[in-house]
Amino acid sequence: MQYRRFGKTNLHLSVFSLGTMRYLASFVNAKQVISEAVALGINHIETASGYGKSEEYLGKALQDGLSQEREKLYITSKIPLTVDADTMRRCIDKSLESLQLDYLDCLGIHGLNTWQHLEWVRAENGCMQAVREAIDDGRVRHVGFSTHAPLEVILAAINTDFFEFVNLHYYYFFQRNLKAVELAAEKDMGIFIISPADKGGRLYTPPERLKELTYPFSPLELNYRFLLSDKRITTLSVGAAIPEELIEPLKVADNDGELSLEEISVFERLENHQNQVLGTEKCSQCYECLPCPENINIPEVLRLRNLTVAYDMEDYGKYRYGMFENAGHWFPGMKGSRCTECGDCLPRCPEELDIPGLLKDTHERLKGKEGRRLWE
């Protein structure tokens, strides 16, 4: 296991962090997952007040004892934004009680996803007043935020200079947030990547075409290498439901150097294949088509189409597409079927794509079961 400095927190975290959203079958199972993660060198465990019994199970496991003492482990919990300081005070106290801890190494403001959320953060007597008090009295040592927001909101949140780290989405198949990675690194913030296996493409169950294109590497391994080769990134979450799910990700835990020539060649193969298959129907993700009068997240819909058509990532496409209209500010936007063919987006597209036609095509390919977040 390799370790990296978590930005200005000066904590040295393992390049993989244990996410605790999926180990909830029982306390016994949770303890086994935590124990195995720690034994394999993971020293950062991330939970949230909204993840069912996650905090409770982690707190009990810490009290029962692990192979590393508490002082050598770093615990992050995430708490949703609140409008006022009093509510945040109660939430911090409740998380510490559930975890049976005197302090959190890191507190993440959970789901800073909208401009309104940013206003709450900036408010003089808002939730951040309670966070600052907790830092002053030692109950919280470092503060950051996690986000599913549009890039512009993420950049604005980073520029408040309130935070020491950020948890965000950024993967080989989703590079929209590169500017947020760059800005966070400039400000010496720790950078935590959310769910690269699942949100990064459901890469633990990849389609055959994708496996063929990434050979001799697995798609999951290649995504991990894409991220770990970037020294600005501190740590990647691995959300194991059972101990065995730690094995495959941690095979690359010591391989965090620059990309090899063979890895670069495979990335070039992926890009060339996508260009060849999609041709003049490829969305380059410039985002110039927005805003849409019907609030369709056109670039994200067409990104899912790119991946489905080029790499047969239909399972992932349906999973994410089903979240539209069902996950609120965590995954905003309407489905492609809401397009009225008003034409507003067409003159803004530098590639002159038939956006209404592509939205309809995407909907026909990916419509199906409605999705929802595992936890709010």
Query: What pLDDT does residue 372 have?
Result: 55
Whether residue 100 contacts residue 63, with contact meaning beta carbons closer than 8 Å, is answered with yes
CA distance linking residue 88 with residue 313, whole number of Å: 40
Q: Walk along the chain (376 residues) in steps of 10 and give the mean pLDDT of each run.
A: 97 97 93 95 94 93 86 94 94 96 96 95 94 96 97 97 97 97 98 96 96 97 97 96 93 94 98 97 97 97 98 96 90 94 96 97 88 52
Q: Is residue 375 part of a domain?
A: no
The DSSP bridge partners found for residue 144 are 108, 165
Q: 274 with 244, same domain?
A: no
Q: Cβ contacts of residue 374 below 8 Å, gap of 6+? A: 21, 22
pLDDT recorded at residue 315: 96
Whether 212 is in a domain gets the answer: yes
In a shared domain, residues 152 and 225: yes
Q: Give domain status of residue 131, yes or no.
A: yes
CATH of the domain at 33: 3.20.20.100
Quick one: DSSP state of residue 26? -
Give the single-character DSSP code of 111.
T
Of 231, 259, 287, the one marking the end of a domain is 259
Q: Are residues 225 and 277 in the same domain?
A: no
Give domain status of residue 374, yes or no: no
pTM for this entry = 0.93
Separation CA 315–CA 207 (nearest Å): 8
In a domain, 130, yes or no: yes
Residue at a domain's end among 222, 244, 259: 259
Looking at the structure of the chain, the number of domains it has is 2
Specify whether 62 is located in the same domain as 93.
yes
Looking at residue 70, what is its pLDDT?
A: 86
Compute the distance between CA of residue 375 and CA of residue 195 in angstroms, rounded to an integer: 14
Residue 375 confidence (pLDDT): 47
Query: Is 324 in the same domain as 198?
Result: no
If asked whether residues 175 and 316 sit together in one domain, one would say no
Is the same domain home to 84 and 169? yes
Amino acid occupying residue 32:
Q
Under 8 Å between Cβ of 347 and 341:
no
- Can you give the pLDDT at residue 115? 95
Domain of residue 203: give its range: 3-259
